[in-house]
Amino acid sequence: MSDSIFQFITLDLFPLLAATLASLVCALLGNYLVLRRQSMMGDAISHAVLPGLVVAFLITQQRLPIPMFLGAAVAGLVTVILIELVRKLGRVEPGAAMGVVFSVLFAFGVLLLSSDRMRSVDLDADCVLHGVLEGLTLNLPHDTPHTWGGIFSLSNLAHIPRPVVTLLVVLLISSTCVAILFKEFRLAAFDPALATAQGFRAGALHMLLMALVAAATVASFEAVGSILVIAMLICPPAAARLLTDRLNTQIWASLVLALTSAVSGYASAIYIPSAMGRDSVSVAGSIAVASGLILALAALFAPTHGVLARTLRQKRLTREIALDDLLAMLYRAKEIEAEPLSVASLGFAAEPRTLAIARQADLIALANDRVTLTPSGLDRARNLVRTHRLWETYLVDEAGLAPDHVHDIAEKLEHTNLTPPDAEHDPHGRRIPSE
């Protein structure tokens, strides 16, 4: 095995693994938070976990993993319950309730941290915010042979950084829960009332979800810090939500996106600065930025829900309607047997672009500044005018509107795919052209 691979495995593999696992578990659970419009709950929990960690430490006087984990998990649940209490008992708006609870708890945590007994410990609020991902290297004994078998020998299993193991366990538990309760979670996320009516106990499911989020937060904490937790809970699921309408696909997509942002964020934090001859930057921060960029890309370029796709759709619709209006105008002029209209007399219906498109599609012909409909244009225009007049008839006969009020509504309806009932004459006494 070459030295560079050995170096990668000892230095980078486990931080990368921790970041990836944390991203995966957070993204998995985040899907439901985003759907339930409770994304900020992740923010609240991850801030409020601080006092739990500190209290657990004060009680045990040691940095034992299990008490710390329990303390933080309890703090997370207490946060959820407190928020609910403040919201229900105090009738406070949910956002404000969250703000009150987590900021007070965080302040409490910071205050506890500053107490004298905590001075000597390296549990500072900074590591709560952005974690110590870089410290998760594989500390092998010096005499380890540089071979695959040497590194992954059984005796070295004990050297695997503990946060990685914790994360793996939490990921397994969460994905099992989600897999088993997929249907229940889905219903509870989209329609809690219906879920309760069907006997699912949406409230209990919600608490289970919150407990999982708290566990994921705590497990990710030591490795990646709270900021990355929030980013991972929200950004990949939000981006996935822009890409698909199916929950199943959304969850898988969010996992892929989480993986992508973890790897690319890690790479750009470590390798880009070192290529530029500088020290590496904060990995957790960089992964958060990567996930944010992925969300931005999804927001811009997602196929149906992206901003670009929407704008294009809108543009195309505008163009279609302009074309429709031009054709209908020409048809009406022809109907009253006027001379072919000149471009000038068409007014704003004859934008150069619309005219160009219509000519290109062989819908109109231009000769001596006169505009005439081609046979195919005539067909399309006749259908349009027919739909328009049918709608007018329908609106007067069935919806009881006054004949002079129906034009504008019909003007909109004629561009839709709906078919009005058949009729002979429109409310203004004009004959409705047959198809």
119: left (phi over 0), alpha (psi -120 to 50) or beta: alpha
Supply the minimum distance, in Å, between the C-beta of residue 242 and another protein.
6
Supply the Cα-derived Rg of the chain in whole angstroms. Answer: 32
Least Cα distance to 302 among 244, 385, 221, 347 occurs for 244
249 is a contact residue toward another protein (CB under 8 A): no
322 is a contact residue toward another protein (CB under 8 A): no
Residue 405: DSSP 8-state: G
**What number of chain residues touch another protein (CB under 8 A)?**
64
| Closer residue to another protein, CB minimum distance, 107 or 121 | 107
Q: Among residues 161, 285, 377, 420, which is the contact residue for another protein, using CB under 8 A? A: 285
Supply the minimum distance, in Å, between the C-beta of residue 109 and another protein.
8
Q: Whole-angstrom Cα distance, residue 196 to residue 256? A: 32
28 is a contact residue toward another protein (CB under 8 A): no
282 is a contact residue toward another protein (CB under 8 A): yes
Dihedral sign from CA coordinates of 62, 66, 69, 70: negative
Q: Among residues 3, 122, 143, 279, which is the contact residue for another protein, using CB under 8 A? A: 279
34 is a contact residue toward another protein (CB under 8 A): yes
Beta-bridged to residue 364, according to DSSP, are 373
Contact 354, 323 (CB under 8 A): yes
Supply the minimum distance, in Å, between the C-beta of residue 305 and another protein.
6
Choices 61-69, 98-106, 145-153, 390-398 (CB under 8 A): range interacting with another protein:
98-106
Choices 87-95, 135-143, 164-172, 413-421 (CB under 8 A): range interacting with another protein:
87-95
98 is a contact residue toward another protein (CB under 8 A): yes
Q: Among residues 2, 3, 4, 89, which is the contact residue for another protein, using CB under 8 A? A: 89
Supply the minimum distance, in Å, between the C-beta of residue 273 and another protein.
8
Choices 82-90, 152-160, 313-321, 398-406 (CB under 8 A): range interacting with another protein:
82-90
Contacts by residues 144-152 (CB-CB < 8 Å, ≥ 24 positions apart)? 146/1, 146/3, 146/6, 147/1, 148/1, 151/6, 151/9, 151/10
Q: Among residues 11, 92, 208, 378, which is the contact residue for another protein, using CB under 8 A? A: 92
CB within 8 Å of 107: residues ≥ 6 apart: none
Q: Render the burial of 308-325: b for 16+ CB within 10 Å, e for the rest.
A: eeeeeeeeeeeeeebbbb
288 is a contact residue toward another protein (CB under 8 A): yes
Q: Among residues 10, 39, 196, 345, which is the contact residue for another protein, using CB under 8 A? A: 39
| Closer residue to another protein, CB minimum distance, 5 or 85 | 85
Cβ count near 111 (within 10 Å): 11
317 is a contact residue toward another protein (CB under 8 A): no
23 is a contact residue toward another protein (CB under 8 A): no
Q: Among residues 37, 183, 425, 431, which is the contact residue for another protein, using CB under 8 A? A: 37
363 is a contact residue toward another protein (CB under 8 A): no
234 is a contact residue toward another protein (CB under 8 A): yes
Residue 425: DSSP 8-state: B
260 is a contact residue toward another protein (CB under 8 A): no
* Secondary structure element (H or E) that encloses residue 373, with its range: strand 370-373
Q: Whole-angstrom Cα distance, residue 204 to residue 33? A: 15
Instruction: Give the tokens for residue 82.
Output: 């407190």
**By three-state DSSP, how is residue 303 classified?**
coil
42 is a contact residue toward another protein (CB under 8 A): yes
Q: Whole-angstrom Cα distance, residue 184 to residue 200? A: 7
Q: Whole-angstrom Cα distance, residue 224 to residue 376? A: 64
Supply the minimum distance, in Å, between the C-beta of residue 116 and another protein.
8
Binding site for another protein (CB under 8 A): 34, 37-40, 42-43, 47, 86, 89-93, 95-100, 103-104, 106-108, 110-111, 114, 116, 125-126, 129-130, 227-228, 230-231, 233-235, 237-238, 241-242, 269, 278-279, 281-282, 284-289, 291-293, 295, 299, 305-307, 310
